[in-house]
């Protein structure tokens, strides 16, 4: 079951406290009156679509799980009983409402509702509850491991919000750019490519470093994959999938097999060998929400599951190796 983006920091709701309880499914909409920009950003975020994204909706229909709903529909006790509220995913109230009081990182004293400053909203602890989660059947074995990856790397860049809630003037954005955002993905990796002939074959080597991420790439859901490709003008192509790999069977806990993702610190080197002595090599690095073979079986549009991080090409000298700029 999918685990997407879940904890955020909407600025503050904007109706009197009485209206906050007027209707569970509509009360978060009251925030839009005064926080229109934040609301527009949030509407296009993965938080807003945590329960209704095509991939999650497909899997929920196959196997609804209270464990998954805890983060994909956190405002409901039973998503099957309250589908309208569940469909709001992670909304304003999820992160900002504590009873009748709105929590925020700063308050002006002029809001028409009770407010209080909660410094935790500006820290990684605000995200930890859904981005550091164990398998329900295997306590201690991480299902979502993003926070631990970031901590093991020395907490680079500060809290999650620095990258996933970038500043927009005096406020922070609420569209939570991440794995669905092309610009964020492109910044996540440094890619260095070299190619050389090796006998009657051509060897392309890609050195991948998560210099702009602060955690492994890909991170989050265990099904996500980084696909690295190399091809030549004759139509030859090789590809490898990087990710977290498990051995699993019905009724048994998943057993980790290997983790060959790009680490939070260090370089992952991928070597792809093409037949023949190619004069030019093309390469690409792609992010997939699920393995490509699985993606083909979902029936979902490719653009909902696939993003390209980087691509390029380089000529291969007759004898010496070539390195992409």
pTM for this entry:
0.86
Burial of 19: CB neighbours in 10 Å, binned 0-12, 13-18, 19+: middle
Residues 95 and 162 in one domain: yes
Residues 145 and 76 in one domain: yes
Residues 143 and 282 in one domain: no
Q: Last residue of a domain, which of 148, 172, 196?
A: 172
pLDDT, one tens digit per residue, over 235-263 is 999 999 999 999 877 767 788 999 999 99
Residues 153 and 194 in one domain: no
Residues 211 and 255 in one domain: yes
Please report whether residue 6 resides in a domain. Answer: no
Please report whether residue 4 resides in a domain. Answer: no
Residues 317 and 239 in one domain: yes
Phi, then psi, of 83 in degrees rounded to 5 = -65, -35
Burial of 82: CB neighbours in 10 Å, binned 0-12, 13-18, 19+: middle
How many CB atoms sit inside 10 A of residue 291's CB? 17
Residues 224 and 106 in one domain: no
Residues 156 and 276 in one domain: no
Mean pLDDT of 310-323: 80
Residues 168 and 194 in one domain: no
Q: How much is the pLDDT for 116?
A: 96
Residues 162 and 192 in one domain: no
Q: What is the mean pLDDT of the chain?
A: 88
pLDDT, one tens digit per residue, over 113-134 is 999 999 999 999 999 999 999 9
List the CATH number of the domain containing 241. Answer: 2.60.40
Number of structural domains the chain divides into: 2
Domain assignment of residue 39, given as a range: 17-172
């Amino acid at each position: 079951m999918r685990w997407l983006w879940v904890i955020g920091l909407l600025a503050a709701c904007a109706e009197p406290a009485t209206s906050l309880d007027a209707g569970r499914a509509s009360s978060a909409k009251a925030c839009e009156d005064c926080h229109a920009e934040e609301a527009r950003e949030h509407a296009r975020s993965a938080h807003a679509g945590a329960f209704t994204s095509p991939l999650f909706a497909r899997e929920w229909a196959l196997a609804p799980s209270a464990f998954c709903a805890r983060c994909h529909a956190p405002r409901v006790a039973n998503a099957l009983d309250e589908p309208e509220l569940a469909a709001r995913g992670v909304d304003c109230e999820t992160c900002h409402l504590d009873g009748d009081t709105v929590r925020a990182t700063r308050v002006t004293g002029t809001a028409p509702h009770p407010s209080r400053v909660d410094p935790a909203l500006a820290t990684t602890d605000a995200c930890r509850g859904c981005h550091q989660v164990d398998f329900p059947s295997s306590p201690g074995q991480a299902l979502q491991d993003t926070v631990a990856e970031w901590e093991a790397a020395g907490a680079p860049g500060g809290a999650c919000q620095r990258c996933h809630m970038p500043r927009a003037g005096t406020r922070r954005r609420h569209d939570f750019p991440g794995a669905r955002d092309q610009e964020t993905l492109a910044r996540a990796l440094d890619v260095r490519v070299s190619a050389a002939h090796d006998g009657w074959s051509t060897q392309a080597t890609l050195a991948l470093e998560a210099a702009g991420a602060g955690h492994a790439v890909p991170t989050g859901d265990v099904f996500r994959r980084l696909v690295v490709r190399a091809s030549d003008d004759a139509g030859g192509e090789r590809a490898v999938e990087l990710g977290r790999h498990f051995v699993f069977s019905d009724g048994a806990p998943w057993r980790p097999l290997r983790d060959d993702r790009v680490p939070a610190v260090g370089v992952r080197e991928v070597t792809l060998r093409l037949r023949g002595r190619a004069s030019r090599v093309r390469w690409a690095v792609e992010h997939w929400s699920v393995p490509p073979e699985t993606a083909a079986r979902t029936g979902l549009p490719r653009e909902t599951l696939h993003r390209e991080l980087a691509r390029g090409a380089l000529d291969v000298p007759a004898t010496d190796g070539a390195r992409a700029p």
